[in-house]
Structure 1
Amino acid sequence: MNSGAENPALYRVLKDVLERQAGVTSVRFEPDAIQKQYLAAAIDSQRVVPPTGPKLPQLEVHWKLTPPHDEFRIDYADPNSRFHCGWHHDEDHNDLGAAHFQYQTASKEAPEYERVVLEAASPPKLLWECCDELFENVIPDYTAEP
């Protein structure tokens, strides 16, 4: 991500959004509560559909205030299934537009990228929208047995 400023007040609001997700067991500031460079949420592997193994999946949220448009990364990783995905609003894949979704399964050697249009405008609503999509559609659809 490009340079920009982390906003401790925004991270407190985003932490609240994560704590309201049914599968989230804990949320912490990283590297610590003073610096607040990003959020890390532990996910109950038995609450996702389909349930995975004993290790806890993790959801990380990085948000930088970079006028005129914030940059963010909302990344999910499950060490049990080796599934990784995320929504990114940055300059890494300009060919896909302002935001993209990327994912990688255990059977793929490289991530795949898709253009995405997010409907929400505010950071808390964007995070909520991505979490809804993650738990309701992405994990079940992308990790289902063939």
Structure 2
Amino acid sequence: MISEKMAAAINDQIKAEFDSAYIYLGMAAYFQDCNLPGMAHWMEKQYHEELEHAERFIEHLYERGARVKIGEIAKPKESYDGPLSVFKESLRHERYVTERIDKLMDQAIEEKDHATSSMLKWFVDEQVEEEANVEAIVRKLEFVGDSHASIYLLDKELGGR
């Protein structure tokens, strides 16, 4: 049986995962408006991944006999100052999510909740990958600057995800 405190923390993380999905969907919409379909596609993939993350947490609570409580999500941002600002915001957001996952892991360890620790291990590893992927795109965008041709090529590359 999972503790009420851990179940509440995971329910809060479920809300955060849905918030993340909505943020990425908003970023995808922004890129569509900018005629950058590859970047929009990349963000749509992120959107779907965040939904899958929420589902993993939901399933964990079901398996542990806890009640799932779905929280309200906020409206995402609608405009940005170009692709670099979007990906920098994405990187900040991924770092925020990493902090949340780390706190959940700390709580699971403190409570000696081995099942939750085991489940969270996947998320710890996933966040390393998420941050690295976004940081690589930020670096590319910083390198190319305002070069429309380079942004066009990067858009094509990201569309292949």
TM-score with structure 2 setting the length: 0.27
Higher relative contact order (CA 8 A, sep 6+): 2
Q: Report which of the two has the higher share of helix.
A: 2
